[in-house]
Structures are given as C-alpha cells and as structure tokens.
Structure 1
C-alpha cells in the first residue's frame, strides 16, 4: 500500500505481524539496526502538511498499518495489509530482542512512566533487564544536540532495540537520526505504547478494538485533544479513498 505526497511516496511495506517479526528477527540476527513506523490517518494529515515529517518517514525501514482506516484503504487499492498496532507489538518485539541477545532501551515522556513500563515488561518477559530508560526534557527537539547525546548513549551501551514513545513527528525524527548515529540499534516508534503498559493511559477495551471503535474511546477519554485530530482525519479521508481507488 502506497501513499503519495508531492515527490515522496510512503509505502506500508510490512503486511502483517508475522512479516514484521521475521524482518526484525533478521536484523537482530546480524546486529543491524532499523527504524519502524506505525502509520495511521493522523500521520497522513501530518505527512501532507510537513516536508520534514515526510523526509523522516521516508527514512524508516519498516512501515506497518496502525489504524483500521489504513487497512480499509489498502483493501480499496487491492493491496491489502493487516492491522499491526504498535501497542500490541511492544511485548513481542522486546521478547524477540531478548531471545536474540540484544539489549533493550526505552525512551518516553516521563521517568515515572518509563520506570513502571520497565517493571511491567521485566515481569512479563523472562531474562529481560532494561538497560537504559531515557525521558527527554520538556520541549525536546530531535534537531538539537540533546538528541545526538541520547543516541550516543544508546550506541555506547550497545543497545540493540529501543522503544520510542514520544509524540508523532519527534519520535520518527529521532529514529531517522538514530539510523545514522546508532546504526546497530533498532528503533520502534510506538507512541502511547509504553504509557499503556505503565497505566498512565488506558487503552480501549478489547471488544471496542475488535469493532474498530478504539477511536471513539480515545475521543471520549480526551475530547479536547482528540476531537480536532479526528476532524482533520475525516477531512482528508475522501481524497485518500479516491487515491486508493486510483491505485487499483
């Protein structure tokens, strides 16, 4: 499935969970890095508006569908992909890193959330010991020297897998820079994935996710932030439907 923005094409190049685990496992086996992005409608809005976001997204090695609308658009285009939510892949990918003998780091919003997420992961994955937990300071900018300092710490600590849970745009920019400065580290941009583990955010019940209604749960949980986002997503949906039909 492809999404075209001016001179940039973003491709959902990992079709399902099994393919993602296989691709990441291959990178872990040879101690090669990667960057993983999880595309959704909100990202499409940002990709249309920001050349910098497009450039950082294009630098990601793997892209999976992190929203049902992406899956539906792929079916319209007759290039079907499956739903692979980043929040569902935190534990499987960390587990795969441990099995491959790769050290794991977490980068997220607050030290307390990271500590709780680390405890949750270590309790569920035998043999895991989080090697680094880094909460960037308020106003963190991936283009400033502090980002390079964080990546230098990852490289020095021989981190094989790093879960990044930062706002969209910042996490992809950090991962894109990390591909150059920490080339043996795999980066996964999982947004609220660590906050769900820490309990600082509550995910929609499983039955709502099964009915593709997680958006409603999030809108009701944080209407000030989420309603404008969903309105922007709805605004671009007709154009994306037309683009998908043209890909047939």
Structure 2
C-alpha cells in the first residue's frame, strides 16, 4: 500500500480510510475541541459532480476527510494501489459512532430531512441506544434560506452545544452546507450522511448486505426509487465509467513509461 492514505482523481481527493480510522479521527477532533472539522461521504455520483463543478470540488477538497462510500471509489482505490481498502458505508459509520457516543457521552445534533423522518430517527435510536445524548434536531425548508433564517439556524445549533452535527441534506447540498457553515458553527465535527437518516429512521429500505458489499446497492435503489434516481445512476454511472477508463489508461501509460526508463 502506498505511504500516503489518499488518492487524487481528476483533481478530487478521496481518502483511503476505513471505519475504525474515521471513527478515531472524529473522536480525536471532539477531544481537541477545535471547531470546523467536517467529513464528506462520497460515491461515484459525487465524484462526477465534483469533476463537473469547481465549487462542489472545492467544498470536498477542503474537508478533513472525504471517505469512499461506494464500490466505484473502492475500485479507483485499488487501481491506485490500495487493494485492501473497503467501503466506508455512511449509515454504518453513523450508527457505529453513535454506539461509541452513547458510551462516552458525546452529544449529537441531526440537521436535514423532514420532521417526520427526524422523529422516527430519534425514536429508533433511543430504542437501540437509550443513553444516547441527542442535543437537538432541525429540518430546514426545502428552498434557499434567507440570511435571517441562516443566522437563526446557526444560533439554534450553537445553543444546543453538540459535539457533532450529522448533516442529511443529500448530495451536493450537504457538502456545500458544511463548507459554508464550518466556521460559523461552534461544533467540533460535521458529518454528511447521505441517506443514513432515512435508512436508520426506517422510512426507506436498505439494500441487502450482500448487495451493498458487492457494488450492487445502486441496482436496489434504482428499482425502489426509479423516478428520483434514474438520472443519478444511469447517466451518472455512465459518466463515472468513462472517467474510470480514462484514469485506467493514464495510469497504464505512466506505468509503461516508468518500466521503459
């Protein structure tokens, strides 16, 4: 395995880290007490958007960690010499850290999704983790916020004094939100969660474990939510495949050149 623990693909940094390392990093940031750390959970669709949009790319590259939540990014990691890297699945990261948070007294704030989903999420978590400290929840409107609303929401979160904010706005909104608010929130860590709120709330079904472990979750989600996800998976995956082939050819050429020297 290479000495560095990340790859850069088309100008986008992806950290080749596993769940235990991610959880340890989050815990370290909480212990240090400094504000503004944030974690981006990334997949093939995210990478395509990052390549196509410089603002989104900037929000990702400025994160403390951008973790590979997708089999496609694992393939890229292996292409770059990380054969043992595994998927850092967002819902698993969230639940595993919350189990640790219950034991150690770390408090969490949940930002995003709908009020109904947040209520179900909290209810489910309290059943499984009765001593978990939940500092608060907030469901923002599904529109652009006014400056006054932004200030109000910052105040709500800051007054709750959470150790960590889980951000469930969907991609790319959650990356952009964390990048914009990281210096305004008095919170040690922000983590974008993707669809983890819906899965852990029970409002959406997760793909079976065997599908998630073998790069087939996108098939399950496309079948269950075709109207919402067809563009993401059919078009996004096609663009990713093209990017992957370009990266493969580039690395092959570089390898051949190094051998010929």
User: Under a length normalisation based on structure 1, what TM-score does the superposition of the two structures give?
Assistant: 0.89
1:241 equivalent among 242, 245, 251: 245
Contact 1:147 1:174 in 2 (8 A): no
The equivalent of 1:172 in structure 2 is: 175
What does 1:93-108 align with in structure 2 at a 5 Å threshold?
93-108=97-112
Query: Using a 3 Å threshold, how does the CA distance of structure 1 residues 147 and 61 change in structure 2: closer, same or farther?
Result: farther
Selected match of 1:215 from 218, 221, 228: 218
Alignment RMSD: 2.1
Q: Deviations over 1:220-241 (max 9, x none)?
A: 1111222221222222322223
- Comparing 101-110 and 114-123, the one that deviates more: 101-110
Count residues in correspondence: 244
Structure 1: runs of 5+ lacking an equivalent = none
Unaligned runs of 5+ in 2: 1-5, 256-261
Question: How much does 1:4 deviate?
Answer: 4.1
Distance across 2 between alignment mates of 1:97 and 1:140: 32
Alpha-carbon distance change, 210 to 148 in structure 1, aligned in 2, over 3 angstroms? same
Residues 203 and 20 of structure 1, relative CA distance in 2, 3 Å threshold: same
Q: How far did residue 89 of structure 1 move?
A: 1.2
Does 2:129 correspond to 1:125?
yes
Distance between the aligned counterparts of 2:74 and 2:49, measured in 1? 18
Q: C-alpha separation between the residues in 1 aligned to 2:74 and 2:95?
A: 22
TM-score, normalised via structure 2 length: 0.85
Structure whose alpha-carbon radius of gyration is higher: 2
Further displaced range: 108-117 or 97-106: 97-106
Please state how far the C-alpha of 1:30 moved relative to its aligned partner: 2.0
- The 1:20/1:150 distance shift into structure 2, 3 A limit, reads same
